[in-house]
Amino acid sequence: MTQSASLARVFDDLAPRYDHEHHEEVARALLALVGPGVADVVADVACGAGAVALQLARSRPAGAPPVLAVDVSPGMIEAGRARGASLTASGAIDWRLADAVPLPAAAHSLDVVLCASSLHFLGSGAVADWRRVLRPGGRVGFTLPLATHFRPSERFSVLLAADVPLPGSAAEADAWAAANGLTGAVSRVHVLGDRRVVVTSAVTPGGR
Ligand SMILES: C[S@@+](CC[C@H](N)C(=O)[O-])C[C@H]1O[C@@H](n2cnc3c(N)ncnc32)[C@H](O)[C@@H]1O
Asked whether residue 78 carries a pLDDT value surpassing 90, the answer given is yes
Q: Which atom of ligand 1 is nearest to the CA of 12?
A: 25
Quote the percentage of the chain above a pLDDT of 90.
89
CA of 46 to the centre of ligand 1 (A): 4
Minimum mean pLDDT range among 3-17, 39-53, 93-107, 127-141: 3-17
How high does pLDDT run on average in the chain?
95
> Which among 2-6, 75-79, 203-207 has the top mean pLDDT?
75-79
Mutate to test the pocket of ligand 1, among 1, 11, 129, 163 (most ligand atoms within 8 A of CB): 11
Q: CA 59, 63, 69: angle at the middle one, nearest 5? A: 60
Asked whether residue 79 carries a pLDDT value surpassing 90, the answer given is yes
- For 26-62, how does the pLDDT look when each residue is reduced to its tens digit (9 = 90+)? 999 999 999 999 999 999 999 999 999 999 999 999 9
Q: Residue 1's pLDDT is what?
A: 79
Q: Residue 208's pLDDT is what?
A: 61
Which residues have any ligand 1 atom within 6 Å of their CB? 4, 7-8, 11, 23, 26-27, 46-49, 51-52, 70-73, 76, 99-101, 116-118, 121-122
pLDDT band at 88 (very low <50, low <70, confident <90, very high): confident
Q: Residue 49's pLDDT is what?
A: 97
Asked whether residue 143 carries a pLDDT value surpassing 90, the answer given is yes
CA of 178 to the centre of ligand 1 (A): 23
Helix axes 51-59, 20-34, angle to 10 degrees: 50
- Segment 110-129 shows an average pLDDT of 98
| Ligand 1 atom 1 nearest Cα | 117
CA of 118 to the centre of ligand 1 (A): 5
Asked whether residue 114 carries a pLDDT value surpassing 70, the answer given is yes
- Segment 63-74 shows an average pLDDT of 97
Q: Which atom of ligand 1 is nearest to the CA of 73?
A: 25
Q: Residue 155's pLDDT is what?
A: 86
pTM over 0.75: yes
As a CATH number, domain 3-203 is 3.40.50.150
Cα gap 29→19, rounded to integer Å? 16
pLDDT band at 90 (very low <50, low <70, confident <90, very high): confident
CA of 47 to the centre of ligand 1 (A): 6
| Ligand 1 atom 13 nearest Cα | 46
Cα gap 13→106, rounded to integer Å? 31
- Segment 184-190 shows an average pLDDT of 98
Asked whether residue 150 carries a pLDDT value surpassing 80, the answer given is yes
